[in-house]
Amino acid sequence: MNGRFVNRLTSLLLLLCLMLGGVVAWELRHAAAMDATRFENLSAPADTPPPVMKSLPASLPKTTLQVYQDILARPLFRKDRRPPEPQAAPAAVAKTVLPLRLVLEGVALTREKRIALLRDLSSNELLSVEQGSTHNDWTVSSVQPDRVTVSRDGRVQELLLEPPANSPPVPVPQTRGAAKRKRLKRNNNSP
pLDDT tens readout for residues 94-125: 556 567 788 888 888 888 888 988 888 888 88
Range name among 4-8, 49-53, 64-68, 145-149 with the lowest pLDDT average? 49-53
Q: What local confidence, expressed as pLDDT, does residue 21 receive?
A: 94
Mean pLDDT of 11-18: 92
With a CB cutoff of 8 Å and minimum separation 6, the contacts of 78 are 84
Q: What local confidence, expressed as pLDDT, does residue 13 receive?
A: 92
Predicted confidence (pLDDT) at residue 164 exceeds the cutoff of 80: no
Q: Which residue has the higher pLDDT, 106 or 50?
A: 106
Say if CB 137 and CB 124 are below 8 A apart: no
Q: Which residue has the higher pLDDT, 72 or 104?
A: 104
With a CB cutoff of 8 Å and minimum separation 6, the contacts of 172 are none
Q: How far apart are the C-alpha atoms of 161 and 107, rounded to whole Å?
A: 8
Q: What local confidence, expressed as pLDDT, does residue 44 receive?
A: 56
pLDDT confidence bin for 19, thresholds 50/70/90: very high
pTM of the model: 0.38
Q: What local confidence, expressed as pLDDT, does residue 191 receive?
A: 56
Q: What local confidence, expressed as pLDDT, does residue 23 receive?
A: 92
Amino acid identity of residue 155, one-letter, is: R
The DSSP secondary structure of 8-69, one letter per residue, reads HHHHHHHHHHHHHHHHHHHHHHHHHHHHHHHHHHH---TTSPPPPPPPPPS-PPP--GGGGH
| Beta strand 134-135 pairing with 138-143 | antiparallel
With a CB cutoff of 8 Å and minimum separation 6, the contacts of 157 are 100, 149, 150, 151
Q: What local confidence, expressed as pLDDT, does residue 173 receive?
A: 64
Q: What local confidence, expressed as pLDDT, does residue 16 receive?
A: 94
